[in-house]
Amino acid sequence: MSTATAWPVTGGRLMLGDVKILLYVSKDVKLHISCNGKTQSDKIYRNGTHIINFKHTLKQDLEIKIEKTGAFRDPKTHKVHNQIVKIKKLIINDINCLDGRLGTFRMLNNFYVKDDTIQTNDLYLNGTWVKKIKYFDYFTNVSFIGRPENEFKTVDIALFGASFFARGTPIKDRWFAKLAKKLNCTFEQYSAHGGTNEQIFSNYRQWKKNNSAKIIVFGPTTFSKRIMSLAGVEKQYNIHITKKELFSNLIDEISNRPVKEFSDVLFWEGLETIMSLQIPILYDFFETCSQQSKIYVLPTIFAERKYFDDTILKKYLLPSFDYVQTKHRAYPNEEDNKLYIDKLEKCGTIKEIEKCLQK
C-alpha cells in the first residue's frame, strides 16, 4: 500500500470557493437551484438573463442541480406551455466549466414525453439538470525527486518546479542564475525532473522544515498528470501518454477512488473542471507560503497559464516566458533566458525582488 498521506493546506484565509451560473429564461419559470444538496435559490425567474452567485465548500466534489417546473398542457385548449431555460455559463472560481461534456437533464412528469435522461444545457420540459465537478487532490505527500534532503540549503532565492527549471541550457545561462548574479545573491533550484505537482509541493514541504529563502519561485507543471498508487505500486501517470491502467477499473489507493475517474474527466470534461476546484486551494497554499517568503509563480505549461492569468492566482504570477516551444527545442535556450531577464527588468520585477532581498 502507498505511504502517501493527505497534506492539509488550508490556512484559514479562503475557506470557500465561488460559483456563478448565467442562464437565460424565455418565460416565467420556477427553478430550484442547489449545490451538494444545499438550496441556493428557489423562486420564479422572469423572462431575461439571470446571474446566480453562491459559495461552495473546498476539497470535495461538486454537484450542481437545477430543478425546473412549470411546463404544462392547457386541459381546455390542449396548448403546450413550455419555458426555455438555457444554461449559458457555469463559472467556478473564474473558470467556465460548461466546455466539454454537457450536463444531464432528467425529464420527469411531462406531457406526451416519457421520462428520460439526455445530455443538454438547454431545458424545455420539466425535470432536473445536473452537472458534476470532480475534485482531485494535488497536495498528498510523495517521495522527493531530485537532490537528497541533506543537500537542501538556506538561500536567498529557492525554486521548486519540474523539468523546465532542471533542463535546457547550463545553469549559469538560465534566467534565475543570471538574476542571482545581477543581484549578488544565492540561489538553488530543487526540481522534480519530469515530476508532478504533488512532487513539486512535497519538495518544498521537505525543504522548508529546516531551510528558508527570502524569495520562492514555484513552477507548476501540467495538472493532467498525477501520482497514483495502483495495486500497491506508486508511480506517475500522465494522461497525455496512454497507459492501459488509466482506463482500467483499478482503484487509486491514495485518493481511494477509481483511476478511470481522472482519465474520464480529462477526456470528456477537460482540464477546466479539474482546475476550477484547484484555484482557491492553490491560492491558500501560496498565501500560507508567503508568511515566510515572497512568492512568485511561473506556470511552465504555457497552455495552462490561463488558469492563473484569469483567476485570483494572478496575484503571484511572474511575467510570461515567451519563446517558441518546438519538438526539437522543448526548453528555452541561452538567448531566450537573456530575453526573459530583459523582460523582468522592463516589468519592474527585478527591482521588486531586489527590495525583498534587502529586507
- What pairs with residue 220 in β-bridges? none
What pLDDT digit, counting tens, does each position of 127-146 carry? 999 999 999 999 987 766 66
| pTM value surpassing 0.95 | no
Higher pLDDT, 336 or 72: 336
Architecture of domain 149-358: 3-Layer(aba) Sandwich (3.40)
In the numeric block, which cell numbers belong to residue 30?
A: 420556477
Across the range 11-29, mean pLDDT stands at 86
What pLDDT digit, counting tens, does each position of 301-310 carry? 988 999 999 9
Confidence of residue 5 (pLDDT cuts 50, 70, 90): very low
pLDDT, averaged across the chain: 89
- Report helix, strand or coil for 141: coil
How confident is the model at residue 331, as a pLDDT? 84
- Long-range CB contacts for residues 144-150, cutoff 8 Å, separation at least 24: 144/192, 144/199, 144/202, 144/203, 144/206, 145/192, 145/193, 145/195, 145/199, 145/203, 146/190, 146/191, 146/192, 146/193, 146/203, 147/190, 149/206, 149/207
Q: Where does 16-133 sit in CATH, by number?
A: 2.60.60.40
pLDDT at 1 over 50: no
How confident is the model at residue 193, as a pLDDT? 81
Across the range 31-55, mean pLDDT stands at 97
Residue 245 to residue 252: CA distance in whole angstroms: 10
Of the candidates 332, 341, 338, the residue with the CA atom closest to the CA atom of residue 165: 332
How confident is the model at residue 140, as a pLDDT? 85
How confident is the model at residue 242, as a pLDDT? 63
pLDDT at 126 over 80: yes
How confident is the model at residue 13, as a pLDDT? 58
Confidence of residue 8 (pLDDT cuts 50, 70, 90): very low
In the chain, where are the structural domains located? 16-133, 149-358
How confident is the model at residue 7, as a pLDDT? 38
Residue 303 CA: distances (Å) to CA of 93, 276, 277, 321, 339: 18, 15, 18, 12, 20
Confidence of residue 147 (pLDDT cuts 50, 70, 90): low
Across the range 46-73, mean pLDDT stands at 94
Confidence of residue 14 (pLDDT cuts 50, 70, 90): low
pLDDT at 3 over 50: no
Residue 84 CA: distances (Å) to CA of 21, 23, 47, 51, 228: 16, 10, 10, 16, 43
Equal CATH topology for 16-133 and 149-358: no
What pLDDT digit, counting tens, does each position of 267-279 carry? 888 899 999 999 9
Residue 132 to residue 110: CA distance in whole angstroms: 24
Residue 151 to residue 162: CA distance in whole angstroms: 18
CA–chain centroid gap for 127, Å, is 31
What pLDDT digit, counting tens, does each position of 196-233 carry? 999 999 999 999 999 999 999 999 999 999 888 888 88
Confidence of residue 285 (pLDDT cuts 50, 70, 90): very high
Q: Choose from 25-29, 109-113, 252-256 the range with maximum mean pLDDT.
A: 25-29
Confidence of residue 158 (pLDDT cuts 50, 70, 90): very high
